[in-house]
């Protein structure tokens, strides 16, 4: 999960994309504006942004499916136009469209054949991946047109991994999955990170990014508005402390906010008290207060501002 040797695997420099719009293609929309981004080997990198931010556009540029108006994109040191790199890359599109008369298993064989993987190896790989993404052999033999959204997402992830890629790009991998499915895919992405694969995925599910990623970028209206570790993105603002204690007389609690500095809130609980301190200044005095009233300290935790706060803060600032 750590940046193992700082080898840049994905490098975007000044990447910009204008779409021509209107009947005569005379107007244009800037979907991506001068994006600079570096992702290192072994990172699980989250690409966050509200609807229309430019996430899919970036992924399509990386896959060389559309072409930039300006700037460049490199994967594993090669420009994205270089097709030789494709064998080391896996891609899950936003709305995967597969030939839906194939069964799930046939789709995996078909994708394996495109990568020049021989039949016996393809079978082994398909069995392994079906297990990994949680599709039973009965489901794998069903035609894709009979798949639910979640099953399609799972087979889409499996096909993105057929060639055992070094770098995996996924556009909203959790979409359409129920909480169990999301957990499974989360574990799967984590295991890829442990095997020093690089995973770059877009999402607007903040909790998934928060639990999975080493670093993340936040995009809004085509512009990069934040990039860093989850702590860096969420931090930078005052973090409060939560103190929980038991065994304090309810009558003593009211004196707490007068005695202890920087108290934000004091809430009596059935067995004691729950205190929020604005910062560490009041901690010593809160602890002596608890001790002097015969109370017992249960926990002290920094209540970090979450990524969600950072995300909404960014959106509001625009």
Ligand X SMILES: Nc1ncnc2c1ncn2[C@@H]1O[C@H](COP(=O)(O)OP(=O)(O)OP(=O)(O)O)[C@@H](O)[C@H]1O
For residue 54, state whether it binds ligand X (rule: CB under 6 A): yes
**Scanning residues 168 to 187, which ones bind ligand X (CB under 6 A)?**
none
Stretch near Mg ion under the rule CB under 5 A, chosen from 63-71, 86-94, 290-298, 305-313: 86-94
Here the tokens at position 81 are 């136009």
| 197 interface partner picked from Mg ion, ligand X, none, CB below 5 to 8 A per type | none
Q: Which stretch binds Mg ion (CB under 5 A): 53-61, 98-106, 214-222, 233-241?
A: 53-61
Q: How far is the CB of 94 from Mg ion (least distance, A)?
A: 5
Among the residue ranges 36-44, 47-55, 161-169, 203-211, the one whose residues contact Mg ion (CB under 5 A) = 47-55
How far apart (Å, rounded) are the C-alpha atoms in residues 293 and 284?
Answer: 14
Partner interacting with residue 153 (select from ligand X, Mg ion, none; CB below 5-8 Å by kind) = none
| Cα 163 to chain centroid, rounded | 22
Return the number of the residue (4 or 20) whose C-beta is nearest ligand X.
20
* Site size with ligand X, rule: CB under 6 A: 14
- For 11, the 3-state DSSP assignment is strand
> In sequence order, what are the beta bridge partners of 20?
28
The binding track of 104-143 with respect to ligand X, each residue x by CB under 6 A or -, is ----------------------------------------
CA distance linking residue 120 with residue 232, whole number of Å: 47
* Interface with ligand X (CB under 6 A), residue from 9, 42, 43, 56: 56
Provide the 10 A C-beta neighbour count for residue 119. Answer: 10
Q: Which is nearer to ligand X, 142 or 204 (CB)?
A: 204
Structure tokens at 17: 């994309």
Q: What tokens does 233 get? A: 């993105």
Question: Is 130 within 8 Å of 137 (Cβ atoms)?
Answer: yes
Q: Which residue is nearest to Mg ion (CB)?
A: 56
Which residues are CB-neighbours of 148 under 8 A, at least 6 positions away? Answer: none
- The tokens describing 156, both together, are 């889409």
Helix axes 179-194, 119-133, angle to 10 degrees: 130
CB of 31 to ligand X, least distance (A): 3
58 or 198: CB nearest Mg ion: 58
Q: Which of 39, 43, 44, 56 binds Mg ion (CB under 5 A)?
A: 56
Q: Does 53 bind ligand X (CB under 6 A)?
A: yes
Does residue 14 contact residue 34 with C-beta atoms inside 8 Å?
yes
29 forms part of the interface with ligand X (CB under 6 A): yes
CB of 93 to ligand X, least distance (A): 11
In this chain, which stretch among 46-54, 109-117, 186-194, 283-291 interacts with ligand X, using CB under 6 A? 46-54
Task: Decide if 41 contacts 198 (C-beta within 8 A).
Answer: yes
Rounded Cα distance between 6 and 235, Å, is 23
H-helix segments, the chain: 55-62, 104-114, 119-133, 137-140, 149-161, 179-194, 206-212, 230-234, 250-253, 256-259, 283-292, 307-317
Does residue 58 interact with Mg ion by CB under 5 A?
no
193 binds ligand X (CB under 6 A): no
Binding site for Mg ion (CB under 5 A): 55-56, 94
Binding site for ligand X (CB under 6 A): 19, 21, 29, 31, 49, 51-57, 94, 204
């Amino acid at each position: 999960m750590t940046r193992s040797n700082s080898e840049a695997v994905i490098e975007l420099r000044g990447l910009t994309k204008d779409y021509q719009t209107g009947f005569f293609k005379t107007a244009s929309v800037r979907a991506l504006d001068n994006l600079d981004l570096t992702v290192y080997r072994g990172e699980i990198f989250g690409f966050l942004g509200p609807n229309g931010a430019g996430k899919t556009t970036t992924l399509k540029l990386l896959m060389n499916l559309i072409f930039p108006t300006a700037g460049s994109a490199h994967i594993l040191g090669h420009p994205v136009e270089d097709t030789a790199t494709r064998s080391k890359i896996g891609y899950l599109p936003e709305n995967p469209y597969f030939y839906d008369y194939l069964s799930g298993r046939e789709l995996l064989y078909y994708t394996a054949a495109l990568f020049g993987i021989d039949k016996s190896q393809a079978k082994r790989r398909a069995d392994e991946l079906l297990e990994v993404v949680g599709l039973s052999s009965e489901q794998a033999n069903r035609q894709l047109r009979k798949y639910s959204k979640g099953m399609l997402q799972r087979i889409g992830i499996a096909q993105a991994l057929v060639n055992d890629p070094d770098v995996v790009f996924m556009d909203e991998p959790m979409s359409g999955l129920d909480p169990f499915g999301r957990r499974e895919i989360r574990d799967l992405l984590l295991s890829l990170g442990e095997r020093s694969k690089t995973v770059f995925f877009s999402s607007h599910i903040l909790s998934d990014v928060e639990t999975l990623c080493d670093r993340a970028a936040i995009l809004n209206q085509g512009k990069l508005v934040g990039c860093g570790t989850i702590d860096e993105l969420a931090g930078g603002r005052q973090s409060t402390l939560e103190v929980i204690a038991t065994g304090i007389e309810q009558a003593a609690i009211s004196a707490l906010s007068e005695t202890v500095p920087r108290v934000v809130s004091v809430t009596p609980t059935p067995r004691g008290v729950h205190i929020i301190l604005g910062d560490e200044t009041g901690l010593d005095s809160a602890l002596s207060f608890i001790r002097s009233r015969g109370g017992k300290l249960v926990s002290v935790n920094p209540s970090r501002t979450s990524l969600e706060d950072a995300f909404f803060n960014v959106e509001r600032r625009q």
